[in-house]
A and B are shown apart, each in its own frame.
Chain A
Amino acid sequence: MVTVEFAPSLRRHVECAPQTVAPGSLRQVLEAALLAAPNLAPYVFDDQRCVRKHVAVFINKTMTLDRQRLDQPVQAGDRVLVIQALTGG
């Protein structure tokens, strides 16, 4: 299974506890985790369902650069962390 966590800066708007979801593409993993808090999705994704440009997604210790396809595989045991990028604001 994959663990998905959302940073406090996101949870201050919509609460979402760490989620455990099935492995798959990064999009599948994020979408599955956001089922627990659908109102959080517009904070993570823009209107075109791309990761917002000031949101950063890490798989373990590696930040993903692709925001659109999100087809990177996420393996069992991986940890996905969604944070606000240190930009803008």
Chain B
Amino acid sequence: MQTLLVASRKGLFVLQGEGAQWRIAAHHFPGDPVTQVMTDPRSGHWYAALRLGHFGAKLRKSTDQGATWADMGSPAFPPKPTTGPLAEDPVPWNVELIWALTPGGAEEPGVLWAGCMPAGLFKSEDAGQTWKLNKPLWEDPRRMLWMGGGNDYPGMHSVLVDPRDARCIRVAISCGGVWQTADGGAHWDLTADGMKADYLPPDIEQDPNAQDPHRMVQCAADPDVLWVQHHCGLYRSTDGGRHWTGIAPPAPSGFGFAVTCDPRNPLRAWFAPAQSDTFRYPVGGKMVVTRTDDGGQTFQVLDKGLPSQDAYHLVYRHSMALAPDGKTLALSSTTGGLWVSPDAGDNWHCVSRDLPPVAASGWVTTG
């Protein structure tokens, strides 16, 4: 039996099942928006990020598979300087959203990383009890040029710890491109070369600091291979994210938010297309997933079991999740649809069309 955690506008759902048979086994934090969920494969502990409408972003942790939850410390910005260049920072130094939660390396069991909105990167060395802002990235003057991608402020939604070396971390920001560090966060390089933002003036459309990667994922078996669903199309890198190659937009659309990739096969990835940034729903009301098995050269359109007409689901960037088996795929939407495929997207089974809007989902890997 497999377990899927679904972070929704009205709580965290625990789904259990296999094949075509799934059920909601538990509902935690009912009524509270949950923005991210993560199971730590090192400890088996579950983490849930809440965005309480009145009381801010909070982090909860369960060490017993959801039987009980503890209120953890939450990432928080230090006092904003009152003098110097940062005093003029127009971005509020308040964490409004925990958007990414990522375990550190296998050899550093208490380390967690959190990407937030505004786009600060935070590190915990005590399994989420306390957090510290990564100042080298936050204080980089280029950060002042980041933009909010459909939000009031820039946000960091993807934080990837390299499985070969936990000091190597890559992050993606809407809108602030892709950044990476080789020394645990002391120094950062802006590495979005090759990306193109069509909506910018022609002279700056290739500015790496202005790119809007919607989601970035990394192949565990070949970590130099990364994929990005960008606001303006799809990208793949084979050199650890230093350079990016555009992928010809597959039918029916190259626009979307979510991407997930095969942990063992660097040539395979899935996308959840929407029509365009103006029309954020499936092309023609027909919901599909696209999959490439050859590094983006060609794509298959996967639709068996997905709504074929009058469907207005949007899949957010963290709402398509591949199980560790490399073939069980979960797809969830802003209009409360949830589908699971047991065979890498070839066939889909509807689990529910009645959930709250889904922000993120993740498979339980241990515990």
**A residues touching B (Cβ–Cβ < 8 Å)?**
9-10, 13-14, 39, 42-44, 46-49, 52, 54-55, 84-85, 87-89
Contact = CB atoms under 8 A, between A and B. Distances in A.
A58 B119 CA distance: 33
Contact of A43 (B56, B77, B92, B94): B56
Nearest to A49: B79
Contacts of A87: 54
B111 interface: no
Interface in B89-146: 92-95
B329 to A, nearest CB: 33
Interface in B39-56: 52-56
A84 B80 CA distance: 25
Contact of B55 (A47, A48, A49, A55): A55
Given A39-B71, A42-B74, A48 B94 contact: yes
B208 to A, nearest CB: 29
A36 to B, nearest CB: 16
Contact of B79 (A14, A48, A55, A85): A48
A42 B93 CA distance: 14
Nearest to A85: B54
Contacts of A46: 56, 94
Contacts of B53: 54, 88-89
Given A42-B58, A43-B52, A43-B56, 19 more contacts: A9-B54, A13-B52, A13-B55, A14-B71, A46-B94, A47-B78, A47-B93, A48-B79, A48-B80, A52-B54, A52-B55, A52-B56, A54-B53, A54-B54, A84-B54, A85-B54, A88-B53, A88-B54, A89-B54
A48 B56 contact: no
Name which of B53, B77, B79 has the most chain A CB atoms within 10 A of its CB: B53
Contacts of A47: 76-78, 93-95
Interface of B: 52-56, 58, 71, 74, 76-80, 92-95
28 contacts: A10-B55, A13-B55, A13-B58, A13-B71, A14-B71, A39-B71, A42-B55, A42-B56, A42-B58, A42-B76, A43-B52, A43-B55, A44-B55, A46-B56, A47-B76, A47-B77, A47-B93, A47-B94, A47-B95, A48-B79, A48-B93, A52-B54, A52-B55, A54-B53, A54-B54, A55-B54, A88-B53, A89-B54
Contacts of B54: 9, 52, 54-55, 84-85, 87-89
Name which of B54, B58, B71, B93 has the most chain A CB atoms within 10 A of its CB: B54
A87 B55 CA distance: 11
A14 B94 CA distance: 21
A48 B93 CA distance: 7
Contacts of A43: 52, 55-56
B206 to A, nearest CB: 35
Contacts of A88: 53-54
Nearest first, the 3 closest Cβ-Cβ pairs linking A and B are A89-B53, A54-B54, A43-B55
B93 to A, nearest CB: 6
A43 B53 CA distance: 11
Nearest to A88: B53
